[in-house]
Amino acid sequence: MTIFFGGRNHLTKTRSRVLLIDGGMAMLNPNHQRYVNRLEQLLEEVQQILESRKGGGIETPKVNALKLKTKNIIKITCGQASDYYKELEGLSRNEPIDSDFKLFDVLETVEAVLQGALSDLKGGFLIRQEFIVAGEIFSSVLDQSQYLNEKGFKDPAAVLARVALEDTLRRIARQETIDDSQKASKINDELKKMGRYGEPMRSQIQSWLAIGNSAAHGDFNDFDEKQVKSMIEGIRGFLAQEFQIS
């Protein structure tokens, strides 16, 4: 989408783009229940294949298909660097499956991986994976914000930076079981109260939110380029702390 700069129109155009970006970010929030359902479906397939063994043997194509489907969901939920994925990769490097005994071994491994991943997902232990991915996306958004500010477009730069900050706060709120539908400033207060961070950080975040709010509402004289630069740098540091990105 083209951004028009000049007068108040630039904010309207930029804001529509921000909403698109914000909407895209919202879609990054993993639907954990959908992943849970998929893992449970694959566990059911394991049992179905094992049941078929009673009727005359295990079918190799079904086992191979199950292994591939399991690798796919594990890659999505746990990542290729996870022990779960590496365990499945080990199956691929093993000798060809040419007997029911080997097929059964493969099924046992697949079942163990699925059960472990399901337990971790239900327990919330894969949330950090989401944070790492989100952090990389937000870092890119802040790069865009920095570029705009350096080119003299402080207003859309401030709006973009606030988008990254607000979504970060909402993700942290969900992790801490805080209502993420509240205003960002309220979430910030509650995160401080529960000890996620101290008063200095809470106060700093409030000032960043205020700058972004002024930009979004057309109060362009309430801040300058230096403040936006400091805001972007500060939010980038906050992301590095919360999302473990460089």
238: CATH: 1.20.120
Least confident of 104-113, 123-132, 219-228: 123-132
Residue-range definition of the domain harbouring residue 45: 32-122
User: For residues 229 and 227, what is the distance between their CA atoms, to the nearest angstrom?
Assistant: 5
H or E element, residue 14: helix 9-28
Give per-residue pLDDT as tens, 170-192. Answer: 888 877 778 888 999 999 999 99
pLDDT at 241 over 80: no
Instruction: State pTM to two decimals.
Output: 0.50
| 161 and 221 both lie in a single domain | yes
| 95 and 80 both lie in a single domain | yes
User: For residues 144 and 161, what is the distance between their CA atoms, to the nearest angstrom?
Assistant: 9
Query: Do residues 106 and 91 make contact, with C-beta atoms less than 8 angstroms apart?
Result: yes
User: For residues 68 and 63, what is the distance between their CA atoms, to the nearest angstrom?
Assistant: 9
Query: Do residues 126 and 44 make contact, with C-beta atoms less than 8 angstroms apart?
Result: no
| 131 and 98 both lie in a single domain | no
Distance spanning both ends of the chain, measured CA to CA: 29
Q: Is the dihedral of CA 71, 74, 80, 81 positive or negative?
A: negative
Give per-residue pLDDT as tens, 43-61. Answer: 999 999 888 877 667 788 8
Does 69 reside within a domain? yes
Query: Do residues 107 and 64 make contact, with C-beta atoms less than 8 angstroms apart?
Result: no
Mean pLDDT of 8-31: 34
| 110 and 142 both lie in a single domain | no
Angle at 185 between CA 184 and CA 188, to 5 degrees: 85
Q: Which residues does 72 contact at the CB level (< 8 Å), separation at least 6?
A: none
Does 147 reside within a domain? yes
Distances (CA, A) of 195 to 45, 135, 180: 44, 22, 17
Give per-residue pLDDT as tens, 203-226. Answer: 999 999 999 999 999 999 999 999
Give the number of domains in the chain: 2
Does 5 reside within a domain? no
Does 6 reside within a domain? no
